[in-house]
Structure 1
Amino acid sequence: MKKLQNSLYITKDGVYLHKQRETLLIEQKVKGEKQKLMQLPIHSIGSIFCFGNIMVSPQLLGFCGENGTHLAFFDMHGHFLANVVGKQSGNVLLRRQQFSVDEIAANELAKHIVAAKIRSSRMLLLRFRRNHTSTPQIEKAIQRLKQIIEQLKDVSEYDKLLGLEGEAASHYFAAFGDMFKGNTNKQLFNHRTRRPPKDPVNAVISLLYSVLGQEISGALQGVGLDPQVGFLHKERPGRNSLALDLLEEFRAYIVDSVALKLFNNQTLTDKGFVTDSLGGVTLKDDARKLVFQAYQAKKQEEVTHPFMQEKVQIGLLPHIQAMLLARHFRGDLAHYPPFAIKK
């Protein structure tokens, strides 16, 4: 089993990252003088995520590319900008299998992913109802999502699949705000908005969706798959469509649950955010650090994988799903088993 390595999040503007022997050195100029902020064993780091104006040495870029250390750059809103990609790994025959999937098989794969996404969304609502309380909107979403999961069984057309996915998302996010306890928290989320997010909750989930999507992209490349050739999300230049496909399985289970915990425990409040002149909401530095701490803690938790029936760390799930998808394309698995917790 792959070992879960640490992820490093760099959020301080103007810092400089470079490799010094077998360590990663993080420095910043203070009054013209270099000041060491942190020094870490470089081989213990699996991913480096840089937000804002971060400088990286050519030697560190080369090391990340050669060793498969995922290095990605984002703006301060969490929008993905670029990442370092080393030599293509995996068997070219596997990628040919991925590219040759016909329309019928592609739609079937997309349907299984959508069904898993809706199950995870419904499970988050059910858990909240069981542990806290319910509202008419939550009850409506729980019932309708169950019906949509049943409807999906008879769907084979791509357009109908997208229609049901869109309806499910509409019901889910209509109820999502009811899971934030207290009147103050309910004002932090109205409906799903992006580019830019218009409230604190959307700012948090958009940020984590972006980060998790890049981790999934790295996991796909690690098993030799092309992250840009998807099935639910069709190809578009510059878009990692397959990574977005697998991201659907983890939106509610990982990201949305982290956001709920942060706000319901009062770890985050509206004081941790700023709103620009166009209404876009961004996290302040301290709030962003709290988000990444909670996200890392979530990745360290263990769960019994529903297909493998083994306990694994949540942070390894993207790598496991990438491996299972590769096995499906090779013909070792008749169907790809998307990740969805049943209880």
Structure 2
Amino acid sequence: MKPLQNCLYITKEGAYLHKERETLVVDQRLDGKVTKLMQLPIHSVGAIFCFGQVMVSPQVMGFCGERGTSLAFFDRFGRYQARVVGQQQGNVLLRRAQFDFPEEKQLSFVKAVVAAKLQSSRAVLQRHLRNHGHSTRVDTAIRRLRQIVESLPVQKSIDSVRGFEGEGARHYFSAFDTLITAEGFEFSGRNRRPPIDAVNALLSFLYSLWGKEVSGALQGVGLDPQVGWLHAERPGRDSLAQDLLEEFRAYVIDRLVLTMINRRQIKPDDFDTAVSGAVSLTDAGRKRVLAAYQAKKLETITHPFLQESVAIGLLPHIQAMLLARHIRGDLTCYPPFCIR
């Protein structure tokens, strides 16, 4: 199993990341003056995420490509822009099996992923009821999510499963504002590109980060992250990574967002609103979110299929491994990640 290594998040505008022997150095270069911000051993870093105007030396890019270290670039709003990709890993026979995956197995995989997503969404709502008591809207969403999950096994096409997935997401987010107990945060539904409120800005930012970790995990086991089945294929989209992301949205990201807001670890003044109406995290807010995100990845749980204690940050790698085993034929069914 891949070890859980540190992630380096560079958020300082004008930062320059370069390599000195076996260390990574982050400098800030302004008005001809160079200020060293950080230096750390290169072999302790498993992924690098750069936000805004950050420069990276060719030596670092080459090193990341050779080692398979994830190096991804995001704009200051947290929207994904690009990543450095090294030599293709894994067995060509695995990728051929992925490309030739039978339609009935594609449908089975999509059903499993959507069921896991909706079960996890339902668990988030049920957790709120246990902690805060009865809510008509939450009760209604829980009941409808259960009905949708129960209807999935008899669906005959991926399109019909996609339709139920979309309906389930609408019911879930229709009650999501009830889960927010802190003042100053408004949520009237899911919106993006760009997000127009703080809650959606947080969700989009963290979904983007986790999605790139899933993509890297798929590449690490030799799968093509762009060849998926729940999300339609299109140029530039990591469809398979988006498929696996669905399993984690509620349990990992949504719960983290609700915790940060309701415990007031993040506040309304940690967000900026552009003239266009787009809402994004401030530099200080982004640092707080990244610290909480990294702490979340270090938490350990018992994996529902492996029945082993694992760090949350390793879940994308575990699910990628299980999917690869299913595609190869080592596992009859793909076991999605779902903790109730």
Q: Give the structure-1-normalised TM-score.
A: 0.97
Contact 2:14 2:30 in 1 (8 A): no
Partner of 1:217: 215
Calculate the aligned-residue CA RMSD, in Å: 1.0
**Cα distance in structure 1, aligned partners of 2:134 and 2:12:** 40
Contact 1:249 1:339 in 2 (8 A): yes
Compare 310-319 and 262-271 and name the one that shifted more. 262-271
Partner of 2:21: 21
Partner of 1:165: 165
- Give every structure 1 segment of 4 or more consecutive aligned residues whose post-TM-superposition deviation is greater than 4 Å: none
Letter of the 1:234 counterpart: A
Alignment of 1:242-321 (within 5 A): 242-321=240-319
CA deviations over 1:246-282 (Å, ceiling 9, x no partner): 0000001111111001110111111111111121101
SS in 2 for 1:279: coil
**Cα distance in structure 1, aligned partners of 2:300 and 2:132:** 23
1:78 Cα offset (Å): 1.1
Partner of 2:235: 237
CA deviations over 1:210-264 (Å, ceiling 9, x no partner): 0100000000000000000001012111110000000000001111111001110
Partner of 1:174: 174
Partner of 1:122: 122
Unpaired runs of 5+ in structure 1? none
Contact 2:126 2:142 in 1 (8 A): yes
Unpaired runs of 5+ in structure 2? none
**Cα distance in structure 2, aligned partners of 1:227 and 1:158:** 19
Contact 2:300 2:310 in 1 (8 A): yes
Contact 1:14 1:55 in 2 (8 A): yes
**Cα distance in structure 2, aligned partners of 1:6 and 1:133:** 39
SS in 1 for 2:247: coil
Compare 92-101 and 271-280 and name the one that shifted more. 271-280
**Cα distance in structure 1, aligned partners of 2:267 and 2:278:** 17
SS in 1 for 2:175: helix
1:73 Cα offset (Å): 0.3
1:105 Cα offset (Å): 1.7
Partner of 1:142: 142
**Cα distance in structure 2, aligned partners of 1:197 and 1:299:** 24
Mark the CA change 1:22 to 1:134 in structure 2 (over 3 Å): closer, same or farther. Answer: farther
**Cα distance in structure 2, aligned partners of 1:55 and 1:113:** 37
Contact 2:73 2:81 in 1 (8 A): yes
Alignment of 1:33-112 (within 5 A): 33-112=33-112
Aligned residues: 340
Quick check: 1:155 aligned with 2:190?
no
SS in 2 for 1:170: helix
1:31 Cα offset (Å): 3.7
Identity of aligned residues (%): 59
Contact 1:17 1:56 in 2 (8 A): yes
Contact 1:188 1:270 in 2 (8 A): no
Letter of the 1:304 counterpart: T
Partner of 1:5: 5
Contact 2:141 2:172 in 1 (8 A): yes
